[in-house]
Amino acid sequence: MADRFTLELPPEPISIGTARLFSATVARFFGTQEEAVEDLKLAVSEACTVAIRANEAQGGRVHLAIEGGRPALTFSIPDGGSASTDRTDPLEVASGELIRALFPSAEFVPTAERRADVRFSVPTGS
Amino acid sequence: MEEGQIRIVVNLEEVGFLDSSGLGALVGALKRVNERGGRLVLACPEGSPLKVLTITGLDKVFAIHDSVDDALRG
């Protein structure tokens, strides 16, 4: 059975560092190589930044879920991406492109208007 | 500072993490300095910050130097 780790944070910038540290700690525990951990930290930071912007006005919470174990962990951040096709928000465009560059198989699953859940996987140790 | 006399070196030697928010701050600073006829250059990016600069193509936008001394001279 796969392990599942979840984190719920207030929509404040300080939460980004917490999400990054939490993600890196879980990945290292499962033996992810350090270079991939650095990529993971960046992708989590980008997705959480977008999720905070999406939730701060309504006071919603930012959620991060990690599932799996060996040979891979899957990271999910609801509202961590934009589903918009007009691409007028430079921050969300940059964040999405960085995540796709780091994890080409990352998924952006449209949910509510203009929002998308972000999912990507990192390999763990054998 | 008079126009044309501004030269800012951003030393990234001890910066271990840089995301799009940090890039936005750097690009904003570069734009403001350029508008005043000055220069803003980066020194010593390594690891993840250098990778982010490369992925985004900003390594072609910023002058990047291996050391602060080079950045001050260059």
| Burial zone of B12 (CB within 10 Å; 0-12 exposed, 13-18 middle, 19+ buried) | buried
Q: Residues 32-61, chain B: which have Cβ within 8 Å of A? A: 47-48, 51-52, 55-56
Residues of chain B with C-beta less than 8 angstroms from the C-beta of A49: 19-21
Q: Which amino acid is at A8?
A: E
Q: What is the pLDDT of residues B8-48, one digit of tens each?
A: 999 999 999 999 999 999 999 999 999 999 999 999 999 99
Q: What CATH architecture applies to the domain B7-73?
A: 2-Layer Sandwich (3.30)
pLDDT value for B3? 54
Pairs across A and B, CB distance < 8 A: 35
The mean pLDDT value of chain A amounts to 90
List the one residue out of A100, A45, A123, A102 whose CA is nearest residue A77. Answer: A45
- Asked whether the beta carbons of A61 and A107 are under 8 A apart, the reply is no
Instruction: Write down the domain spans for chain B.
Output: 7-73
Looking at the structure of chain A, the number of domains it has is: 1
Domain of residue A98 covers: 3-123
User: What is the pTM (predicted TM-score) of this model?
Assistant: 0.88
Cβ of B51 within 8 Å of Cβ of A38? The answer is yes
Tell whether the model's pLDDT for residue B53 goes beyond 80: yes
- ipTM of this predicted complex? 0.80
Count other Cβ atoms within 10 Å, centred on residue B69.
11
Q: What is the pLDDT of residues A24-61, one digit of tens each?
A: 999 999 999 999 999 999 999 999 999 998 888 888 89
Helices (H), chain A: 14-29, 34-55, 90-102
Tell whether the model's pLDDT for residue B2 goes beyond 60: no
Rounded CA-CA distance A110/B62 in Å is 35
Distance from CA of A42 to the nearest CA of B (A): 6
| Residue A35, CA distances (Å) to A10, A31, A75, A87 in order | 29, 12, 17, 30
The CATH number given to whatever domain includes residue A79 is 3.30.565.10
Q: What is the pLDDT of residues A83-100, one digit of tens each?
A: 765 556 667 778 888 999
Give φ, ψ of A87 to 5 degrees.
50, 45
